[in-house]
Protein backbone atom coordinates (compact mmCIF):
# COMPACT_ATOMS: atom_id res chain seq x y z
CA UNK A 1 0.00 0.00 0.00
CA UNK A 2 1.43 3.36 -0.99
CA UNK A 3 0.70 6.91 -2.06
CA UNK A 4 2.06 8.70 -5.13
CA UNK A 5 2.52 12.47 -4.94
CA UNK A 6 3.53 14.55 -7.97
CA UNK A 7 5.91 17.17 -6.55
CA UNK A 8 4.98 20.64 -7.82
CA UNK A 9 1.82 19.30 -9.40
CA UNK A 10 -1.76 18.60 -8.35
CA UNK A 11 -1.85 14.83 -8.23
CA UNK A 12 -2.15 12.45 -5.26
CA UNK A 13 -2.93 8.78 -5.83
CA UNK A 14 -3.48 6.12 -3.20
CA UNK A 15 -2.68 2.65 -4.45
CA UNK A 16 -4.15 -0.14 -2.41
CA UNK A 17 -4.10 -3.89 -2.22
CA UNK A 18 -7.17 -4.68 -4.29
CA UNK A 19 -7.62 -8.40 -4.95
CA UNK A 20 -7.63 -7.62 -8.69
CA UNK A 21 -4.40 -5.60 -8.64
CA UNK A 22 -1.54 -7.38 -10.34
CA UNK A 23 -3.69 -10.37 -11.33
CA UNK A 24 -2.63 -11.84 -14.64
CA UNK A 25 -5.21 -12.56 -17.29
CA UNK A 26 -5.61 -16.22 -18.18
CA UNK A 27 -6.62 -15.40 -21.75
CA UNK A 28 -5.14 -13.63 -24.72
CA UNK A 29 -6.43 -10.07 -24.72
CA UNK A 30 -6.84 -8.44 -28.12
CA UNK A 31 -7.61 -4.75 -27.98
CA UNK A 32 -10.36 -3.60 -30.28
CA UNK A 33 -10.34 -0.42 -32.34
CA UNK A 34 -10.24 2.90 -30.49
CA UNK A 35 -13.55 4.70 -30.95
CA UNK A 36 -13.33 8.20 -29.54
CA UNK A 37 -12.38 9.54 -26.13
CA UNK A 38 -13.49 7.15 -23.39
CA UNK A 39 -13.86 7.87 -19.69
CA UNK A 40 -10.70 5.87 -18.97
CA UNK A 41 -8.70 7.73 -21.62
CA UNK A 42 -9.99 11.05 -20.30
CA UNK A 43 -8.81 10.12 -16.80
CA UNK A 44 -5.32 9.26 -18.06
CA UNK A 45 -5.26 12.62 -19.83
CA UNK A 46 -6.13 14.52 -16.65
CA UNK A 47 -3.75 12.39 -14.58
CA UNK A 48 -0.82 13.31 -16.80
CA UNK A 49 -1.66 17.02 -16.93
CA UNK A 50 -2.09 17.29 -13.16
CA UNK A 51 1.17 15.40 -12.58
CA UNK A 52 3.19 18.15 -14.30
CA UNK A 53 5.56 20.12 -12.10
CA UNK A 54 4.50 23.80 -12.13
CA UNK A 55 8.20 24.75 -11.99
CA UNK A 56 8.63 23.38 -15.51
CA UNK A 57 7.40 24.88 -18.79
CA UNK A 58 3.90 26.28 -18.39
CA UNK A 59 1.03 26.16 -20.91
CA UNK A 60 1.12 29.31 -23.04
CA UNK A 61 -1.03 28.78 -26.15
CA UNK A 62 -4.00 26.79 -27.37
CA UNK A 63 -3.88 26.19 -31.13
CA UNK A 64 -6.86 24.90 -33.10
CA UNK A 65 -6.40 23.30 -36.52
CA UNK A 66 -9.58 22.64 -38.51
CA UNK A 67 -10.57 20.98 -41.77
CA UNK A 68 -12.69 22.39 -44.59
CA UNK A 69 -15.51 20.61 -46.42
CA UNK A 70 -13.07 19.40 -49.07
CA UNK A 71 -11.50 17.19 -46.39
CA UNK A 72 -14.75 15.35 -45.73
CA UNK A 73 -14.19 11.61 -45.48
CA UNK A 74 -10.63 11.93 -44.25
CA UNK A 75 -9.67 8.86 -42.23
CA UNK A 76 -8.11 9.00 -38.79
CA UNK A 77 -4.89 7.64 -40.30
CA UNK A 78 -4.78 10.57 -42.71
CA UNK A 79 -5.48 13.01 -39.87
CA UNK A 80 -2.56 11.59 -37.88
CA UNK A 81 -0.33 11.90 -40.95
CA UNK A 82 -1.40 15.55 -41.20
CA UNK A 83 -0.44 16.09 -37.56
CA UNK A 84 2.99 14.54 -38.12
CA UNK A 85 3.55 16.73 -41.16
CA UNK A 86 2.51 19.81 -39.19
CA UNK A 87 4.89 18.86 -36.38
CA UNK A 88 7.81 18.83 -38.84
CA UNK A 89 6.90 22.31 -40.10
CA UNK A 90 6.34 23.63 -36.58
CA UNK A 91 9.71 22.39 -35.35
CA UNK A 92 11.54 23.83 -38.35
CA UNK A 93 10.02 27.22 -37.49
CA UNK A 94 10.05 27.20 -33.66
CA UNK A 95 12.29 24.32 -32.62
CA UNK A 96 11.23 21.48 -30.35
CA UNK A 97 8.29 22.52 -28.20
CA UNK A 98 6.20 20.23 -25.97
CA UNK A 99 2.45 20.13 -26.49
CA UNK A 100 -0.58 17.99 -25.79
CA UNK A 101 -2.60 17.21 -28.89
CA UNK A 102 -6.24 16.21 -29.03
CA UNK A 103 -8.20 14.95 -32.05
CA UNK A 104 -11.89 15.79 -31.74
CA UNK A 105 -14.87 15.12 -33.97
CA UNK A 106 -17.81 17.53 -33.94
CA UNK A 107 -20.97 17.83 -36.05
CA UNK A 108 -20.53 20.36 -38.86
CA UNK A 109 -22.47 23.57 -38.19
CA UNK A 110 -22.48 24.93 -41.74
CA UNK A 111 -21.50 24.11 -45.29
CA UNK A 112 -22.18 21.07 -47.40
CA UNK A 113 -21.96 18.49 -44.62
CA UNK A 114 -24.10 20.02 -41.86
CA UNK A 115 -24.61 17.60 -38.99
CA UNK A 116 -21.87 15.20 -40.06
CA UNK A 117 -18.83 14.59 -37.88
CA UNK A 118 -15.70 16.45 -38.96
CA UNK A 119 -12.27 16.31 -37.31
CA UNK A 120 -10.15 19.07 -35.85
CA UNK A 121 -7.11 19.25 -33.59
CA UNK A 122 -6.41 21.16 -30.39
CA UNK A 123 -2.79 21.69 -29.36
CA UNK A 124 -1.97 22.82 -25.82
CA UNK A 125 1.50 24.33 -26.25
CA UNK A 126 4.03 24.73 -23.43
CA UNK A 127 6.74 27.38 -23.18
CA UNK A 128 6.27 28.96 -26.61
CA UNK A 129 4.99 32.49 -26.01
CA UNK A 130 4.05 33.38 -29.59
CA UNK A 131 3.10 31.71 -32.87
CA UNK A 132 2.55 33.83 -35.96
CA UNK A 133 -1.11 33.49 -36.96
CA UNK A 134 -0.44 33.91 -40.69
CA UNK A 135 2.31 31.32 -40.60
CA UNK A 136 0.04 28.90 -38.70
CA UNK A 137 -2.78 29.23 -41.23
CA UNK A 138 -0.39 28.88 -44.14
CA UNK A 139 1.47 25.89 -42.68
CA UNK A 140 -1.72 23.99 -41.87
CA UNK A 141 -3.24 24.82 -45.26
CA UNK A 142 -0.12 23.45 -46.94
CA UNK A 143 -0.49 20.23 -44.97
CA UNK A 144 -4.17 19.54 -45.65
CA UNK A 145 -4.59 20.97 -49.18
CA UNK A 146 -1.10 21.72 -50.53
CA UNK A 147 -2.02 25.39 -50.19
CA UNK A 148 -4.95 25.13 -52.59
CA UNK A 149 -7.24 26.72 -49.99
CA UNK A 150 -6.90 28.64 -46.75
CA UNK A 151 -7.99 26.48 -43.83
CA UNK A 152 -9.20 28.09 -40.61
CA UNK A 153 -6.92 28.04 -37.57
CA UNK A 154 -7.06 29.78 -34.21
CA UNK A 155 -4.65 30.85 -31.47
CA UNK A 156 -5.69 31.57 -27.90
CA UNK A 157 -3.20 32.76 -25.26
CA UNK A 158 -3.04 31.03 -21.88
CA UNK A 159 -1.77 33.05 -18.95
CA UNK A 160 -1.53 30.54 -16.10
CA UNK A 161 -2.08 26.94 -15.07
CA UNK A 162 -5.63 27.65 -13.93
CA UNK A 163 -6.52 28.96 -17.36
CA UNK A 164 -4.96 25.89 -18.96
CA UNK A 165 -7.04 23.62 -16.71
CA UNK A 166 -10.16 25.50 -17.82
CA UNK A 167 -9.35 24.96 -21.49
CA UNK A 168 -8.50 21.34 -20.73
CA UNK A 169 -11.96 20.73 -19.30
CA UNK A 170 -13.81 22.73 -21.94
CA UNK A 171 -12.01 22.06 -25.21
CA UNK A 172 -9.49 19.28 -24.81
CA UNK A 173 -10.95 16.70 -22.46
CA UNK A 174 -14.61 16.33 -23.34
CA UNK A 175 -15.63 12.68 -23.24
CA UNK A 176 -16.66 11.51 -26.71
CA UNK A 177 -17.35 7.91 -27.75
CA UNK A 178 -18.42 7.21 -31.32
CA UNK A 179 -19.27 4.18 -33.43
CA UNK A 180 -16.45 4.85 -35.87
CA UNK A 181 -12.78 4.00 -35.38
CA UNK A 182 -10.70 7.07 -34.51
CA UNK A 183 -7.35 5.69 -33.39
CA UNK A 184 -5.74 7.38 -30.41
CA UNK A 185 -7.31 10.80 -29.93
CA UNK A 186 -4.68 12.39 -27.71
CA UNK A 187 -0.98 12.33 -27.04
CA UNK A 188 2.03 14.41 -26.03
CA UNK A 189 4.78 15.63 -28.35
CA UNK A 190 8.27 16.13 -26.86
CA UNK A 191 7.04 14.82 -23.51
CA UNK A 192 10.61 14.58 -22.15
CA UNK A 193 10.74 18.39 -22.04
CA UNK A 194 7.96 18.47 -19.42
CA UNK A 195 8.75 18.00 -15.72
CA UNK A 196 7.21 15.20 -13.67
CA UNK A 197 8.62 14.33 -10.24
CA UNK A 198 6.67 11.48 -8.69
CA UNK A 199 7.38 10.52 -5.08
CA UNK A 200 6.16 7.14 -3.80
CA UNK A 201 5.68 6.62 -0.05
CA UNK A 202 4.86 3.25 1.48
CA UNK A 203 2.17 3.29 4.18
CA UNK A 204 1.00 0.92 6.83
CA UNK A 205 -2.54 -0.37 6.48
CA UNK A 206 -3.89 1.94 9.19
CA UNK A 207 -2.09 4.97 7.74
CA UNK A 208 -3.39 4.14 4.30
CA UNK A 209 -7.04 3.93 5.39
CA UNK A 210 -6.71 7.07 7.51
CA UNK A 211 -5.38 9.01 4.50
CA UNK A 212 -8.10 7.61 2.25
CA UNK A 213 -10.82 8.82 4.64
CA UNK A 214 -9.30 12.31 4.59
CA UNK A 215 -8.99 12.37 0.80
CA UNK A 216 -12.53 11.05 0.30
CA UNK A 217 -13.84 13.79 2.58
CA UNK A 218 -11.90 16.46 0.67
CA UNK A 219 -13.06 15.17 -2.70
CA UNK A 220 -16.67 14.86 -1.55
CA UNK A 221 -16.69 18.49 -0.38
CA UNK A 222 -15.13 19.62 -3.66
CA UNK A 223 -17.69 17.74 -5.75
CA UNK A 224 -20.59 18.61 -3.44
CA UNK A 225 -21.77 15.02 -3.09
CA UNK A 226 -20.96 11.76 -1.39
CA UNK A 227 -18.56 9.48 -3.23
CA UNK A 228 -19.65 6.05 -4.33
CA UNK A 229 -16.12 4.97 -5.26
CA UNK A 230 -12.90 4.57 -3.31
CA UNK A 231 -14.54 2.87 -0.35
CA UNK A 232 -14.22 -0.85 -1.02
CA UNK A 233 -11.55 -2.83 0.80
CA UNK A 234 -8.13 -2.00 -0.65
CA UNK A 235 -9.59 0.24 -3.36
CA UNK A 236 -7.37 3.22 -4.21
CA UNK A 237 -8.27 6.82 -4.94
CA UNK A 238 -6.92 9.67 -7.06
CA UNK A 239 -7.29 13.35 -6.13
CA UNK A 240 -6.15 16.42 -8.03
CA UNK A 241 -4.86 18.21 -4.98
CA UNK A 242 -1.79 20.44 -4.68
CA UNK A 243 1.32 18.50 -3.75
CA UNK A 244 2.11 20.74 -0.76
CA UNK A 245 -1.29 19.83 0.70
CA UNK A 246 -0.60 16.17 0.01
CA UNK A 247 2.75 16.39 1.78
CA UNK A 248 1.15 18.07 4.79
CA UNK A 249 -1.41 15.28 4.99
CA UNK A 250 1.37 12.71 4.90
CA UNK A 251 3.39 14.39 7.64
CA UNK A 252 0.27 14.60 9.81
CA UNK A 253 -0.18 10.83 9.82
CA UNK A 254 0.92 9.07 13.03
CA UNK A 255 4.35 7.57 12.47
CA UNK A 256 3.99 4.81 15.06
CA UNK A 257 1.45 2.74 13.14
CA UNK A 258 2.86 -0.50 11.77
- What separation in angstroms does the CA of 217 have from each of 205, 230, 231, 255? 19, 11, 11, 22
pLDDT of residue 235: 87
β-strands 36-37, 198-202 pairing: unpaired
pLDDT of residue 26: 45
Q: From CA 81, how far away is CA 76, in angstroms rounded? A: 9
Q: Residue 36 forms beta bridges with which residues?
A: 177
pLDDT of residue 172: 62
Q: Which domains are present in the chain?
A: 2-20+198-252 (no CATH), 57-193 (3.30.70)
Count how many Cα atoms sit within 13 Å of the Cα of residue 167 in the half-sphere of its side chain.
24
Give per-residue pLDDT as tens, 178-221. Answer: 555 667 888 999 999 999 999 999 988 888 888 888 888 888 88
Tell me how crowded residue 167 is: count the other CB atoms within 10 A of its CB. Answer: 16
pLDDT under 70: residue ranges of the chain: 18-37, 171-182, 256-258
Mean pLDDT of all residues in the chain?
84
Q: From CA 156, how far away is CA 175, in angstroms rounded? A: 22
pLDDT of residue 116: 81
Amino acid sequence: MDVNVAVGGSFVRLRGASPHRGRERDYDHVRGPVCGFSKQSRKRYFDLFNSLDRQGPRPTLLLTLTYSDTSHGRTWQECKADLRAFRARFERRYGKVPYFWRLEYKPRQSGQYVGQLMPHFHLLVFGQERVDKDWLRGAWSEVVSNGAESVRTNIRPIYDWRGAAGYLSKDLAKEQVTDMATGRVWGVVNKAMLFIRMVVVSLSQLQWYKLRRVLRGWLGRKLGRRLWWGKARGQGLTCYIDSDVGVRLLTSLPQSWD
